C-alpha cells in the first residue's frame, strides 16, 4: 500500500506498484489496467495523483492510453541491435525477424558532392547504393552506403538482393573492419526518404552516420541510416565485433 509518511511522492509510489505488477505478470501486455476512479478507490488517493502516476508510466512506455477505451499495458517493442558494428540485416535476423530488402538505387561509381562535410568521400568517387529494409511489410530502415572504390573494385557487378554486406565484404574481399565510429541525431524527413518510410515531415527519425575503418584504409565504408523508432527500439552493444 501507499505510505503517506514517505518522502517519495504518492504518485511515484503508485507508479512503482503498477510497474511491479507489470513486471511480475499481474498485468500482462494488452491487459487493461483499472480506471483512474478504480485506482483512486483502491489506494485511497485522489484522481489527480492517479493521473500523475499513469502519465509517468505512459512516458516510460509501460502503459498506453486508448481514446474512449481506457489504459492498457504496452506491448514491448522488439529491440534490434542495429547500431553495433555487426551489420544491419544480420541484426534483424538474430532476433528471428524476417526482412525483405529492396535496392532503391543500384550500385554505381559516382562522384560524391561536397554538400555533406561528414561524408569522407565528399568531392571524390565512391561506390554508392541505397537500400530499404522492411519487416512484415512495414518499411523501417533506409541505408545510403558508400564504399572505397579501390578496396572494393568490382562491387558494382555484385547482386546485392537479400545479401548481407558484411558477408560480401568478407567472402568476396576477405576483409573485416578493425573498428568504427557512429554519430547520432534526430532528423525530420521532408524528402523522398520520408515517402519511402511512410512517415510525415513531423515524425522524428533516428539518423545514424556510420564510419567503418579497415586495416587497409580508414572510412572504407560510410553509411547513412534512417531508422523508424516507432517500429523498433534500436539499441547498441558496446564492444568489439568480428563482422562488418
The half-sphere exposure of 138 on its side-chain side, counting CA atoms within 13 A, is 11
Model pLDDT, residue 1: 80
What is the location of CATH 1.10.10.10 in the chain?
10-73
Model pLDDT, residue 154: 94
Query: Mean pLDDT, 10 residues at a time, over the chain (244 residues)?
Result: 90 93 89 95 95 91 88 72 52 64 94 92 96 88 95 92 78 87 90 92 91 93 90 55 40
Model pLDDT, residue 238: 45
Model pLDDT, residue 147: 97
User: Which residue do the cell numbers 474512449 mark?
Assistant: 68
Q: Which DSSP letter does residue 92 get?
A: H
What is the location of CATH 3.40.1410.10 in the chain?
79-234
Model pLDDT, residue 138: 87
Model pLDDT, residue 113: 92
Rg from Cα positions in the chain:
23
C-alpha closest to that of 175 among 144, 153, 146: 153
Q: pTM for this one?
A: 0.63
* 23 exposure class (CB count in 10 Å sphere: 0-12, 13-18, 19+): exposed
Quick one: which H or E segment has residue 51?
A: helix 47-59
CATH class for domain 79-234?
alpha beta
Query: What would be the CATH architecture of the domain defined by 10-73?
Result: Orthogonal Bundle (1.10)
Amino acid at each position: 500500500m501507499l505510505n503517506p509518511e514517505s518522502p517519495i511522492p504518492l504518485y511515484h509510489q503508485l507508479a512503482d506498484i503498477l510497474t511491479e505488477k507489470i513486471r511480475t505478470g499481474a498485468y500482462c501486455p494488452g491487459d487493461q489496467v483499472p480506471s483512474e476512479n478504480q485506482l483512486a478507490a483502491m489506494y485511497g488517493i485522489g484522481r489527480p495523483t492517479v493521473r500523475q502516476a499513469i502519465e509517468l508510466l505512459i512516458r516510460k512506455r509501460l502503459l498506453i492510453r486508448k481514446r474512449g477505451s481506457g489504459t492498457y499495458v504496452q506491448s514491448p517493442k522488439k529491440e534490434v541491435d542495429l547500431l553495433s558494428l555487426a551489420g544491419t540485416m544480420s541484426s534483424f535476423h538474430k532476433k528471428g525477424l524476417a526482412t525483405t530488402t529492396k535496392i532503391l538505387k543500384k550500385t554505381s561509381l559516382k562522384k560524391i558532392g561536397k554538400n555533406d562535410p561528414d561524408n569522407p568521400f565528399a568531392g571524390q568517387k565512391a561506390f554508392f547504393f541505397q537500400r530499404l529494409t522492411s519487416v512484415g511489410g512495414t518499411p523501417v530502415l533506409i541505408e545510403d552506403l558508400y564504399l572505397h572504390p579501390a578496396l572494393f573494385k568490382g562491387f558494382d557487378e555484385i547482386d546485392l538482393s537479400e545479401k548481407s554486406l558484411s558477408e560480401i565484404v568478407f567472402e568476396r574481399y576477405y576483409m573485416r573492419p578493425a573498428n568504427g565510429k557512429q554519430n547520432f541525431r534526430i532528423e525530420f524527413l521532408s524528402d523522398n526518404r520520408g515517402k519511402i518510410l511512410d512517415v510525415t515531415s513531423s515524425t522524428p527519425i533516428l539518423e545514424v552516420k556510420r564510419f567503418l575503418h579497415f586495416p587497409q584504409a580508414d572510412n572504407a565504408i560510410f553509411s547513412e541510416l534512417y531508422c523508424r523508432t516507432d517500429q523498433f527500439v534500436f539499441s547498441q552493444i558496446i564492444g568489439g565485433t568480428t563482422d562488418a
